[in-house]
């Protein structure tokens, strides 16, 4: 199999120019036996693996989409189509940044839970419909099986927006370095953990050396002994489920372990704690856990369900905690 990617752009209907354009990179399983042609590199997708479930991955704030290429390639190798994107926008007055798209008004106490917080998602879904109608992916995308994933703020909007009452085509979600502790400045009591949608499979992943979450704990009034306390409390607050909710804490991983490479000139990498384990080993575990989660609860693969069950009881040296409920 040859993993390929293509680019696409979409417009955000209610965004102001010049901050109304999102640039997508879409990774897919290509045909490895395709003869060399003058096709400018747009090789066909492998139709034998179609229709492809689609993963939409939301980056952290000021984290470029290239930082998650490694994960997109690994997931595409499992027979998925993976969308990463860059969106430069002014989420706050005077603050222009790479953003996953956060609908701030939907985080307010009287609105939260009634509307999605992922402001980029409608445009991304519309872009996928365009790709499914023309080009090398035409007719090959399973747009009734969309998985939302993300890192940091992007992970938060992914898990908050994975609600079938918002988007019926979304059927699972995962996050790394994300939680739902409420921002005190928005009017919440200190230590409040906001409820997540309870209808879909979900996996929360975090690193035990997450210095960014630890450094920002005062924003939420969440004070704990571990950097992962907000993630653990988010998992504890989950309701519903059918043994399809997971918490994975990766020993020695930090907030940016999932990002490779990390751009030190932007973002908050300076807040992070040093990783105490191999980043490569941690990333391998993160990708495997996410892949098994999707293969088990989206694609219903018996062998993947068994493999995920084995991981739950394993003594994997990089697993600090792995729970299911």
Give the per-residue pLDDT at 33: 66
Identify the H or E element spanning 231: helix 229-236
Q: In sequence order, which ranges of 146-228 are alpha helices (DSSP H)?
A: 153-161, 211-215, 217-220
Instruction: State the chain's maximal CA–CA distance in angstroms.
Output: 62
Tell me the three-class secondary structure of 237-290, residue by residue.
CCCCCCCCEEEEEECCCCCCCCCCCCCCCCCCHHHCCCCCCCHHHHHHHHHHHH
Give the per-residue pLDDT at 93: 73
Q: If DSSP codes are grouped into helix, strand and coil, which group holds residue 216?
A: coil
What's the token pair of residue 156? 């938060």
DSSP class of residue 34 equals P
Give the per-residue pLDDT at 225: 74
Instruction: Please check whether residue 172 is in contact with residue 136, taking contact to mean a CB–CB distance below 8 angstroms.
Output: no
Q: What is the pLDDT of residues 190-227, one digit of tens each?
A: 999 999 998 999 999 999 999 999 999 989 988 777 89
Cα–Cα distance list, 113 to 157, 162, 194, 209, 301 (Å): 12, 11, 9, 30, 32
Give the per-residue pLDDT at 92: 72
Cβ atoms within 10 Å of 281's Cβ, excluding its own: 17
Ranges under pLDDT 70 in the chain: 33-41
Give the per-residue pLDDT at 241: 73
Give the per-residue pLDDT at 94: 80
Spatial distance between the Cα atoms of 67 and 160, rounded to a whole number of angstroms: 22
Spatial distance between the Cα atoms of 126 and 13, rounded to a whole number of angstroms: 11
Cα–Cα distance list, 82 to 47, 60, 138, 162, 180 (Å): 16, 16, 15, 16, 25
What's the token pair of residue 8? 């696409």
Give the per-residue pLDDT at 34: 60
Identify the H or E element spanning 294: helix 279-297
Q: What is the pLDDT of residues 229-270, one digit of tens each?
A: 999 999 999 987 789 999 999 999 999 999 999 999 999 999
Q: Which residue ranges form the domains of the chain, and what is each CATH number?
A: 2-34+41-324 (3.40.50.1820)
Instruction: Please check whether residue 142 is in contact with residue 169, taking contact to mean a CB–CB distance below 8 angstroms.
Output: no
Tell me how many degrees the CA angle 37-39-42 measures, rounded to the nearest 5: 120
- How far does Cα 276 stand from its chain's mean position? 24
Give the per-residue pLDDT at 41: 64
């Amino acid at each position: 199999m040859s993993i390929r990617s293509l680019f696409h752009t979409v417009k955000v209907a209610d965004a102001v120019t010049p901050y109304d354009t999102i640039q997508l990179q879409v990774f897919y399983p290509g045909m490895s036996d395709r003869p060399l042609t003058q096709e400018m590199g747009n090789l066909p997708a492998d139709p034998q693996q179609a229709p492809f479930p689609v993963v939409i991955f939301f980056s952290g704030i000021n984290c470029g989409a290239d930082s998650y290429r490694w994960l997109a390639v690994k997931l595409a190798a499992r027979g998925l189509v993976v969308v990463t994107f860059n969106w430069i926008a002014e989420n706050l007055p005077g603050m222009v940044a790479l953003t996953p798209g956060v609908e701030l008004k939907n985080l307010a106490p009287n609105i939260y839970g009634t509307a999605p917080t992922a402001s980029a998602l409608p445009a991304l879904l519309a872009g996928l419909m365009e790709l499914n109608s023309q080009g090398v992916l035409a007719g090959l995308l399973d747009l009734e099986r969309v998985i939302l994933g993300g890192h940091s703020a992007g992970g938060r909007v992914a898990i908050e927006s994975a609600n079938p009452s918002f988007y019926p085509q979304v059927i699972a979600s995962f996050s790394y370095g994300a939680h739902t502790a409420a921002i005190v400045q928005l009017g919440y009591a200190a230590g409040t953990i906001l409820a997540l949608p309870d209808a879909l499979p979900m996996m929360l992943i975090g690193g035990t050396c997450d210095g960014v979450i630890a450094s920002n704990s005062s924003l939420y009034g969440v004070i704990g002994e571990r950097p992962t306390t907000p993630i653990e409390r988010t998992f504890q607050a989950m309701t519903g489920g059918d043994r399809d909710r997971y918490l994975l804490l990766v020993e020695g991983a930090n907030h940016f372990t999932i990002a490779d490479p990390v751009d030190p000139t932007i973002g908050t990498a300076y807040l992070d704690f040093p990783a105490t384990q191999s980043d490569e080993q941690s990333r391998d575990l993160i990708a495997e856990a996410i892949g098994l989660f999707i293969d088990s609860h989206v694609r219903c693969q018996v062998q993947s369900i068994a493999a995920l069950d084995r991981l739950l009881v394993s003594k994997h040296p990089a697993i600090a905690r792995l729970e299911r409920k």
